[in-house]
Amino acid sequence: MNKQFYVYVMTNWDNTVLYAGMTNDLKRRAHEHREGLADGFTRRYRLKKLVYYEICDDALSAIAREKQIKGGSRKKKLLLIGSMNPQWRDLWEDING
């Protein structure tokens, strides 16, 4: 079985700041963001809410997709999140079953 990679978007409590990232362990990475263990931008802006993710088959496609999302306009990011998560729920519970 191939390892999966994830592209994800985190936001703050009022959904004003968006951060796109990629990882090979979505549960661990989301936990790091939620607990403030991730240094820099995400901790500074308290980005603790997972509002979007997608699965990629390999690291290269995940990196390319992350760059595509980061390079897109805010409007495109909002549409992307709305397509998967129209209520902007925190998907933390979903990934932890």
The total of other beta-carbon atoms located within 10 Å of residue 17's CB is 15
Beta bridge partners of 41: none
Count of H-run helices and E-run strands, the chain: 5, 3
Domain boundaries, the chain: 5-95
Please tell me the predicted confidence (pLDDT) of residue 3. 87
- Please provide the CATH number assigned to the domain covering 5-95: 3.40.1440.10
Q: How high does pLDDT run on average in the chain?
A: 95
Cα–chain center distance at 13: 14
pTM of the full predicted structure? Answer: 0.95
Closest CA to 42 of 20, 61, 59, 22: 20
| pLDDT digit string, tens, across residues 4-26 | 999 999 999 999 999 999 999 99
